[in-house]
Structure 1
Amino acid sequence: MPPRIPRQQAEEPAVGTRPDNDAGVSAELAAVVSGARRRSVRDGDRQIDTAHLLHSLLEHDPEVRAVFDDGAEIARLLGYLVQRSIGYGLRWQGSVEDSGAVPVVREAEGYSPLAAEAMECAAARAARRDGGAALGLDLLAAIVADPQARAVEVLDRAGIDRHEVLARVEDRLVRPGWTGR
């Protein structure tokens, strides 16, 4: 019987060619991107989208998990994300995540247009804040900023308001004594 999870062959190109240690991205966020990349390959998706990024953030970043009120919110979010990864519930496979706000010019190095924009926005947020590398909280804020993002659809279905998530992120980032680690 063939394995249920497709394996990426060594000679296959990775979903994205962007190195995980890009300037402007923390080591923790690079691990999140690697997780999202593996998830997109495993799911058979052509690109890393904002839902892949959200799923990986929830799995890898305790600061992101702390944004959500309780275990029930995280459980609902992960429930929708897992349904999507096993082929039930949210059906996006084979389509490109795009809000239509800007023309799609390229497949941004393995990212959907919205995910690529979120990565750029996360780096810009970090640069404005302290000039440091982007953190998971920066990426969370960036991926829920566009109401057309798949991550926002997951939040909506889980009954979580994206504006509330953004407010919680901002509160955590400006909290006195917070170091980002």
Structure 2
Amino acid sequence: MSKQTLGQSLYGWLQTITAVLTAIILVFTFLGRITPVDGVSMEPTLHTGDLMLVRSIGYRPRQGDVVVLTKPFDLTEGPIVKRVIAVGGQQVDIDYGTGTVYMDGAALDEPYLKEVMRPPWYGGLTSVTVPEGSVFVMGDNRNNSNDSRDVTLGTVDERYILGRAELVFFPFRNFGRIQ
């Protein structure tokens, strides 16, 4: 058996590291990514500092999904996390008097909400038909969430969606599937 020179050994390690980094980049680009939660708009479902696994490939938004999107608005920077309330073609009506959201005339069952919704400080939409290829999103902490009710965000084109938040994996006390 022949001995490798230092240069040959380093070259072998460099090839291995390059292959691993390429695989990681491909996985995060096409299959999913790790995204942190920043803010309180999704409490009690998600908390600031939670790290989530976000699935990208083959994802089509559905009502009730928690998604990560990149549409810039207001003073928000970076990815934002919200729940899909309605998809293209559906009608959303919001009754702030009762704190109820209706989708196509039916009241949504929303056990994930932090508290009863009050009118947002920024005004807010009360009725909208979601355009095809778009979604209407809201935070689970409705009283502390800039979301589709804010005209600066409004309905969100599906092309801004990075994917569905599937799992919190850190911190370990919050580990679990995102519902």
Larger Rg: 2
Structure with the higher strand share, 1 or 2: 2
- TM-score, normalised by the number of residues in structure 1: 0.23
Richer in helix (by share)? 1
